[in-house]
Every structure is written in C-alpha cells, then in structure tokens.
Structure 1
Amino acid sequence: MRHFILLLLFSCFSSFGQTKYFSHLAYGKSSQQVLDLYIPDGDLKNVPVVILLHGGAWTMGGLEYTSKHAQDICNKGFVVANVDYRYINDKISAKDLLADIGAAVSYVSDASGKYGYAKTGYHIVGISAGAHLALLYGYTEKSMKSITALCAPSRLDSTEILEFLKKNGLLSTIEKLAGAKFKANGSNPAFVAISPFKNISNMPTLLIHGDADPLVNVSQSQNLYTELKNKGVETKLIIREGKGHDVGMNSPDTEIQNINDITEWIKKHNN
C-alpha cells in the first residue's frame, strides 16, 4: 500500500496552490531521462518557459536538488521544466548529456499545445554542473532566449584548471565528461569542446557566483564575463560576497535574492 501511494505521488498530477505539477514525465528511455513540469494558472501565451538543470558534478543528484527552486520560479508566474539527465561514465559524456537536454526541450515543446504555453523561445538555468551544461547547450544550440548560470565551471581546457581538478580528485570526472584523456603536453580539442568559454555565441548570459566558492573558483565566472563583454554579448555578473558553492541558494534570504535576479533577467529577455 505504501509503495502504491509513493507511486501515485511520483506519477500523477497534483496541485500546489496556483501551480499545476506533473511529476517524472519521461522524455527518454532511461530512468534518469525524466522531468517535472510546473505550470502556473492563467493565460500562458506570453509566459516565460524555463529549462532548469540541477548540479551534482555530472555524477550524482537529481530533480530533488532543484525542486524548491523550480517551485519558487513557477510562483513568479513562469512555466518550469525541472530536468534530470543521465550521469557520465565511460560510455556517457557531455555530448550525451546535451542530447538529453535537447530531448527534454523537445518534450516540453511538444507538450505546449496541451497546456497553452509557448512552443519555442525558452530560457535555460543551471546550477554548478547544470550551469556548465546550460552554458554549453545555450551557446551551441542557439535556441534559447537567455542563459543563467550559477557557480558555473566554464573553462575546462587549461592545464592550470585541470591540475586543480586533479588535486581534488575530479580529473577523471572531467575526462569522462570530455570523453578523452587530458594530454598535459599536447592539444586537447575534446576539452575545448566542453568549455563554454571556448564556445560563446550571442546569447544573453547572467552569471551568479559566490566569491568563497571552494569547488569552482569565482574566476571562472569573472573570466567568462570578461570574454562575453569582449565579444559584445549581453551579460551580467553578480558576485555573492562570502557565499560558497551553493551561491546562497540554501539560505532563505539569498535564495530569494537569486530567484528575483534570475526571473528579472528572464523577463527582460522574453520578448
């Protein structure tokens, strides 16, 4: 009986106040290729649609990491697809995760006729590893209206950065993400290919980063911001003083501030 009730909670429609909530909608065959869809009440014709990507070093986590943020963004009157994706391993790399995001976007687009929101012209938001994927997908697919990246790893092709990752036991993770071994004394095109810094396109980009982040140094966002400015891309950088890798998303006051900044950026670029 308990299992049946849990199954209902994860597979059926429910309502939270003014939000319609559809849980674990499958956009692919893998158990991780699912998304939660949050839809506000009212006329959805001109409502922003947000693709939200969780973090977890590309190897852990799921929709539960970003469910509160999805609800908070939806409460601002936005449609939100909280997207899960597969973990990297020896056979699954960044290109597969990007394919997952593309499939999720297609699913959301196909469902638009049923619910009444826009079929195209979405916004993508990510945190940590999800921010990396949001940047990379946004720059390479060029179908989003805006990108928001919180505490994003944005350059993964330099020896200095990879030595830091190696020191912290993350080099093998990045090699799986790239689908290649890093060559300390040679060219590394696979690592360039997974670095948003090297794949910039004209996509409005909001960057939010804590200056006390021990995992992804704030310089990653600062350098990307400078490069975006140099290339004439509309961008904004918000530094959260004293905040670590969660960018304050786990502190009520700062989370509200972040949600406000994210939603204001999206509204600005929704036309």
Structure 2
Amino acid sequence: MKFLKILSINLLAVITILSCSEKIEPIATADILDTTLEYEELDIVYGDDENQTFDLYLPADRTVDTKIIILIHGGGWSAGDKAEMDPLKTLLIQDFPDVAIVNMNYRLADGNNKPYPMQTNDISTVIRYLKTNQIKLSISDQLGFIGASAGGHLALLWAYSFDTLQKTNMVCSIVGPTNLTDPNFALAAEESSELDAFLTLFGEDPTVEYLEEVSPLHQVTANAPATILFYGGQDPLIPISQGADLNEKLSKLNVTHEYTLYPEAGHGWTGIEFIDTWTKIKAFTIDNL
C-alpha cells in the first residue's frame, strides 16, 4: 500500500535527521548463544507457508530481562512484506540498543483464506517460538508491538484478545483498522474499490459476531496494554472514527494510551508530522515497554 512506501522513505529520512503452524524448531544448538555479541538471523522459518518467516535481531550484552518488540507490516491483509518495516527496525536498533527485535511475515489472505484467525495464529506461533528458545536466546517474555495499517490492526487484536498471559506491555498502531462493524467503513468502501476488496477478505456476508471478534474496539478490556495510536484526517481507507472511537473507549477503561490525529494527513505522512510520530513512539516505548 502507498503508506508502506511512505513509511520506508520517511523512516530513512528520520534516521538522517535524528542521527498457525506448530512447526517450531530451536534456532540454536543446546548451547546458549554468546550474549556478549549482537546476533542476527534472517528468514527464520516457523511454518510451511513461504510467508511464515521472520527476522531476529538480538542486542549485545542481553540478559533474561531483555524485552522484545515485534514489527508487523501492512498491506491490506493480502499483500506486503517484512522488508517494508526494515527502516523502522533500523531506527529501533539505533534508539533502543537493549531491545530484541522481531520483524515478521505472516500468511497472506485471499479468497480462500480469511485474515482471521490465520494471521493472529501466525503471531501466536512466532511468540511460541521465542518462548521455546527463550533460554538459548537470552531474552525475556515481555513484548511490545508496532504495526502499520493492517499490521496495526493485527497488533492491536493480538494484544487485546490473545495475550492471555498478559506479557504485552505496549502496542502501537499506525493507521490500523479498529472496528470492522463501523458503518463509516461501509461508506468508505463505496468510495474505494481497494478498501472494499480488503474488507471482502473477511467474507462476502460476515456475521456481526465475527466482525466484532476481529475488531480490537470490541475486544479491548481494562486489562489492555498501554496503547499508542496514529491516524490521518484525510485517510481514504481508514475513517477518522476508527482511531477516535478506540481512543474514547481506552479513556473510559482507564487504559494508558495516547492518540494523535494529523488533520491533513492521509494513509501515511511525511516531514514534521512523521518526525512527531517517531518522537512520540520513542517516548511511549521508553515509558511503557
């Protein structure tokens, strides 16, 4: 999607300015990895589908208290790749040198495979992988998520609905859908064939119960992790109500959160607004991860 291209370009600019398969196999031998060294492994396989891979970046001098941030790309649940989040990964390594980073792909939806629960199952499988290898990697089980667009939706949904052990400390959604029952979504789909195609992935005539189950707005509780949200006031794909309504509900539930709406921005933004986004993500992560 256009946002992801903008994301990659502008994250690189900010760097300059700010200078569910059960196929889980351990990453290492029986020996613990050398914790004094940085460790990087790309395209770790966690399932049989070609998209079930993730990249892992471990900091030097890590311990069993080292926390993890998981990046989830966008693409309307049916496209995209973890490579689009690489610039954000670079920023995280620069500004959070003590945090482990996972940049994951997930199975892509099509007419025969709905996004849900397939994609949340993939997130669960990656997290089980990390848990299986926790001692070998010298990491904790404490998590944070940053997702863009559809990845923002998946990050929110997993953190609100699937983290039964409450290991997620913070979740960030950048222009992520929050409520698939929102009538404004239907109106927006009438104006955008692209959005209509994305929403149809959840079924030609899905039940209200199913749409509520897949909507972070309907799944969030008072036990939700700290949440930071970003939206554009001129976004042709994501109505303003998607962020505003979740912001309101988080306030009612007394969940720690921040909400930013850039009135003139679309499904992505540049310049001062983007620098503002990263500045807020950085501060929020420091306070809550």
The residue that corresponds to 1:57 in the other structure is: 76
1:105 to 2:130 alignment: no
Alignment of 1:147-162 (within 5 A): 147-162=171-186
Instruction: For residue 19 of structure 1, report the CA deviation from its aligned partner.
Output: 5.1
The counterpart of 1:214, out of the listed 236, 254, 258, is 236
Give the AA of the match of 2:125.
A
Q: How high is the sequence identity, in percent, across the aligned residues?
A: 22
Instruction: For residue 241 of structure 1, report the CA deviation from its aligned partner.
Output: 4.9
| Contact 2:145–2:170 (Cα < 8 Å) also in 1 | yes
Distance 1:160 1:257 in 2: 27
1:125 to 2:146 alignment: yes
| Contact 1:48–1:266 (Cα < 8 Å) also in 2 | no
Alignment of 1:228-267 (within 5 A): 228-248=250-270, 251=271, 254-267=273-286
The residue that corresponds to 2:208 in the other structure is: 188
The residue that corresponds to 2:249 in the other structure is: 227
Distance 1:216 1:232 in 2: 25
CA offset digits 1:24-76 (Å, max 9, x no partner) = 11111111011011222223443331111001111111011101101211222
SS of 1:245's equivalent in the other structure is: coil
Change (3 A) 1:259 1:111: farther
What root-mean-square deviation, in Å, do the aligned CA atoms of Structure 1 and Structure 2 show?
2.1
Instruction: For residue 243 of structure 1, report the CA deviation from its aligned partner.
Output: 2.9
| Contact 1:81–1:108 (Cα < 8 Å) also in 2 | no
The counterpart of 1:138, out of the listed 146, 159, 174, is 159
Give the AA of the match of 1:194.
V
Instruction: For residue 127 of structure 1, report the CA deviation from its aligned partner.
Output: 0.5
For structure 2, the 5+ residue unaligned runs are: 1-36
The counterpart of 1:47, out of the listed 62, 66, 73, is 66
Change (3 A) 1:158 1:239: closer
Change (3 A) 1:179 1:105: farther
Distance 1:229 1:145 in 2: 17
Task: Report how many aligned residue pairs link the two structures.
Answer: 244
SS of 1:233's equivalent in the other structure is: coil
| Contact 1:139–1:200 (Cα < 8 Å) also in 2 | yes
Distance 1:215 1:20 in 2: 38
SS of 1:98's equivalent in the other structure is: helix
Distance 1:42 1:255 in 2: 31
Instruction: For residue 268 of structure 1, report the CA deviation from its aligned partner.
Output: 1.8
Distance 1:254 1:109 in 2: 37
Distance 2:160 2:246 in 1: 13
Bigger RCO of structures 1 and 2 (CA < 8 A, at least 6 apart): 2
Instruction: For residue 256 of structure 1, report the CA deviation from its aligned partner.
Output: 4.7
The residue that corresponds to 1:12 in the other structure is: none
For structure 1, the 5+ residue unaligned runs are: 1-17
TM-score normalised by L of structure 1: 0.82
